[in-house]
Amino acid sequence: MEIPYIVTPRKDTGLFNSKIAIWLFLASEVMLFGGFFSAYVFLRLGADFPWPERTLPVLPGLINTFVLIGSSVTVVFAWASLKMGKWRHFQIYMGITIACAALFMVLKAIEYNVKFHHQAVRLTDYTVVEGHLGYEKENGEYVLNHHGSEVEENQIRIESGGLTFSTVRYHKPWVEEILSQAAHRNAEIKLAADVTARTSEGGNQDTLIAKAGEPLSLELLATIQKAHLKARAHNGALRTASLREEWKKTKAENPGKRGWQLASDVNIDVKALEEAGKLLTEISTVSFTVTPPVRLDFRPRDVREGETQSRLRDDTVIDGKLLPSPMGFHYVDAIDFRHLAMKAVNKGLDPIAAVENSWLIQNHTFAREAWEWNKAQVAKLEADLLKDHGVNEETGKPNREPTAKERYRIDWKDFVAMSDGVNRGEGKIALKEEFMGPDYKGREAKETFPMHFDLPREQVRFASKFTPAWNTYYALYFTITGLHGLHVIGGALVLAYYLFFGRKMFNSNPEWLANRVEVGGLFWHFVDLVWIFVFPIFYLM
């Protein structure tokens, strides 16, 4: 039996099946994106940090908007061509649509890529510094690590003399990483002491599992882990049985009493178990020595560092002195005091004075110079606004005032203006820079940006690339545009299927193909429709 109304609409509803389905799907999509947009409203209204408004370069977003609108027009033309039976026209319009989708995704990928390599850090006093990290150098040469790649100057460096692994929790890739780092620096990691354990019930002699001095390897850890897990399982079963026995006995001795009344008197007879030699040895950790002690590098997120002992997230304990582990910026392309100023105002402090007392300005000339330049610019802007818009007669305050961004943020375009010796907004910026961000190589030659800035680790409150981790704005930006991008890809794949495999259906049942393209087109317009909101919300507000 065939399912009706696939091609022809049902009379009373006037719709064919897939059209109902796509509208239902779109209603659901409205709710999905609605969930994200209401998250945006909720998080923005409730933000306890200065929202980075109008922070993205507008040009890529604008071009992408044009691309998507254009593709929306062509997809409706493609459908119209099918309806009029013009296969050739359909091919052309649909081809343009898919090309637009590809262009959109390429531009999106470029945008993402720029952000993923751009570093931000929030200092302990809430100053924010942005820029690019440098790579470690020694005697003017880049240091290469064991992978043969350059080492980004954002590592926790520990002069490690000993390592203690958790036998159940050690993370294999990290062990491998430690091994190759040590090998790269000509150090050996060896078992600190003999690992002996009772491995079978009743035996009085402990078995030697591994000898002191055996080098660290995944196989060794696996062997010890196996012995540990076996002992743990064995002992667990034994202790459980013993506890059960005890309960049985106690209950028989105290009829009528509730379990909770007896609980404190019921204990496992561990001594008896041990005397009978039934318990096996559990080896929950295993220690190694590093000879000679060498510097090992760890990513800041993976390690809780301490002066003499640090711990990795997989419970590996590293004994050794913490070496200076600064974040090394190659370029600084923005300094932002908005968060600091906001915190100051919340505490009832004068924000300007707070900025001037900040660690960065107190310790670094480039920051002080930039701040002075900025203060002059703000004063000029204030005067201009006062001249143009006057004062509110009731309150006596100026009608228009500089924004927090203008007051407290000095970004790369300001550095350009500073170095060009002109006012804010008048620096010379190439079109490519509007799109991709600053041309660092060229700027380096012109000495536009502050360079080689080492930030001591203890000044770092939170550091991240411009990824979802940096703040909720970027989290929303990446999640919503990422999901939208997935929709673009999905829609383009479906439309491409009609373009490349539709010919047969066009010959046999053109009406059905037109229906399908209409449905695919509806989805495509919806994707456009979402972008129409995404663009102003993320790029212009």
Partner 1 sequence: MANTAEEIQKSIRTYLIVGAALFVGTILTVAVATVPALDIGHHGFDMWDAILGLAIAATKATLVAAVFMHLNHEKKAVYWIFGSGIIFVIVLFGLTAFAKNDPIHDPLFYGRMSTTPAPLATPTLR
Partner 2 sequence: MSAHATHHDEHHHAPGFIRKYVFSTDHKMIGIQYGITAMLFLAFGFYLMMVMRWSIAFPHQPLPEWMSWCFSDGWKARWLQDGKVTGETYNMFGAMHGTIMVFLGIVPLGFGAFGNYVTPLQIGAPDMAFPRLNMASYWVYLAGGLVMCASFFMESGAAKSGWTNYSPLAGFADGQIVNQWLAGQTQWLIGLVLLITSSLLGSVNFITTIINLRARGLTWMRMPFLVWAMLVTAFLLLLAFPPLEAAGIMQLMDRVAHSSFFMPSGLFTKTEGLADLSGGGSPLLFQHLFWFLGHPEVYVLLLPAFACVAEIIPVNTRKPLWGYKSMVYSVLLLGFLSFIVWAHHMYMTGMGAAVSTFFQTTTVLISIPSVVIITAMLISLWGGSIRFTPPMLWACAFIPMFGIGGLTGLPLAFNLADLHLHDTYYVIGHFHYVVAPGILFGLFGGVLHWYPKITGRYMSSWLNHLHFWPSLICMNIIFFPMLLQGMAGFHRRWYNGGDAYLDKATAATGDGGNVFANTVAQHIDMNILMSMGAWTLALAQIPFIINLFISWKTGRKVESDNPWNATTLEWATPTPPGHGNFTFEPAVYRGPYEYSRPDSEQDFIPQWEKPRQSSPAETKPSVH
Among residue numbers 73 through 92, which ones bind partner 1 (CB under 8 A)?
73, 76-77, 80, 83-85
By the 10 Å C-beta count (0-12 exposed, 13-18 middle, 19+ buried), 474 is classed as buried
Residue 512 as a binder of partner 2 (CB under 8 A): the answer is no
By the 10 Å C-beta count (0-12 exposed, 13-18 middle, 19+ buried), 67 is classed as buried
Chain positions 363 to 402 lying near partner 1, rule: CB under 8 A, are 385, 389, 399-402
Nearer to partner 1, 107 or 192 (CB): 107
Residue 336 as a binder of partner 1 (CB under 8 A): the answer is no
Among partner 2, partner 1, none, residue 315 binds (CB under 5-8 Å by kind): partner 2
Coil/strand/helix, residue 181: helix
Dist. CA 65–CA 63, nearest whole Å: 5
Among partner 2, partner 1, none, residue 469 binds (CB under 5-8 Å by kind): partner 2
Q: How long is the chain? A: 541
Whole-Å CA distances, 262 to 238, 245, 246, 397 = 22, 14, 11, 76
Dist. CA 37–CA 94, nearest whole Å: 31
Helices (H), 151-197: 172-184
The backbone torsions φ and ψ at residue 311, rounded to the nearest 5 degrees and listed phi first, read -135, 130
Query: What are the b/e assignments for 138-169, b being 16+ CB within 10 Å?
Result: eeeeeeebeeeeebbbbbbbbbbbbbbbbbee
Coil/strand/helix, residue 140: coil
Among partner 1, partner 2, none, residue 406 binds (CB under 5-8 Å by kind): partner 1
288: left (phi over 0), alpha (psi -120 to 50) or beta: beta
Nearer to partner 2, 242 or 419 (CB): 242
By the 10 Å C-beta count (0-12 exposed, 13-18 middle, 19+ buried), 451 is classed as middle
Q: How far is the CB of 6 from partner 2 (least distance, A)?
A: 9
Contacts of 162 (CB under 8 A, 6+ apart): 192, 287, 288, 289, 290, 318, 319, 320
Three-class DSSP labels, 265-279: HCCCCHHHHHHCCCC
Question: Minimal CA–CA distance to 194: which of 291, 94, 311, 283?
Answer: 283
Residue 198 as a binder of partner 2 (CB under 8 A): the answer is no
Chain positions 308 to 337 lying near partner 2, rule: CB under 8 A, are 313-315
CA Rg, the chain, in Å?
Answer: 33
Instruction: Give the bridge partners for 191, in sequence order.
Output: 288
Chain positions 222 to 281 lying near partner 2, rule: CB under 8 A, are 229, 232-237, 239-240, 243-244, 247, 258-263, 266, 268
Contact segment (CB under 8 A) with partner 1 among 109-117, 206-214, 232-240, 349-357 equals: 349-357
Contact segment (CB under 8 A) with partner 1 among 232-240, 243-251, 354-362, 409-417 equals: 354-362
Among partner 2, partner 1, none, residue 529 binds (CB under 5-8 Å by kind): partner 1
Contacting partner 1 (CB under 8 A), which of 18, 52, 60, 65? Answer: 65
Among partner 2, partner 1, none, residue 483 binds (CB under 5-8 Å by kind): partner 2
Is the previous residue joined to 292 through a cis bond, with omega within 30 degrees of 0?
yes
Chain positions 6 to 35 lying near partner 1, rule: CB under 8 A, are 13-15, 19-20, 23-24, 26-28, 30-31, 34-35
Contact segment (CB under 8 A) with partner 2 among 17-25, 105-113, 347-355, 379-387 equals: 17-25
Among partner 1, partner 2, none, residue 213 binds (CB under 5-8 Å by kind): none
Chain positions 450 to 489 lying near partner 2, rule: CB under 8 A, are 462, 464, 467-472, 474-476, 478-479, 483
Nearer to partner 2, 364 or 457 (CB): 457
Nearer to partner 1, 150 or 406 (CB): 406
Nearer to partner 2, 32 or 143 (CB): 32
Instruction: Give the bridge partners for 195, in sequence order.
Output: 210
Amino acid found at 11: K
Chain positions 93 to 152 lying near partner 1, rule: CB under 8 A, are 124-126
Residue 47 as a binder of partner 1 (CB under 8 A): the answer is no
Contacting partner 2 (CB under 8 A), which of 42, 66, 142, 500? Answer: 42
Three-class DSSP labels, 74-116: HHHHHHHHHHCCCHHHHHHHHHHHHHHHHHHHHHHHHHHHHHH
Nearer to partner 2, 336 or 433 (CB): 336
Chain positions 67 to 126 lying near partner 2, rule: CB under 8 A, are 122
Nearer to partner 2, 166 or 374 (CB): 166
Among partner 1, partner 2, none, residue 168 binds (CB under 5-8 Å by kind): partner 2
Task: Please count the residues of this chain forming the interface with partner 1, following the rule CB under 8 A.
Answer: 72
Residue 507 as a binder of partner 2 (CB under 8 A): the answer is no
Contact segment (CB under 8 A) with partner 1 among 145-153, 316-324, 343-351, 434-442 equals: 343-351
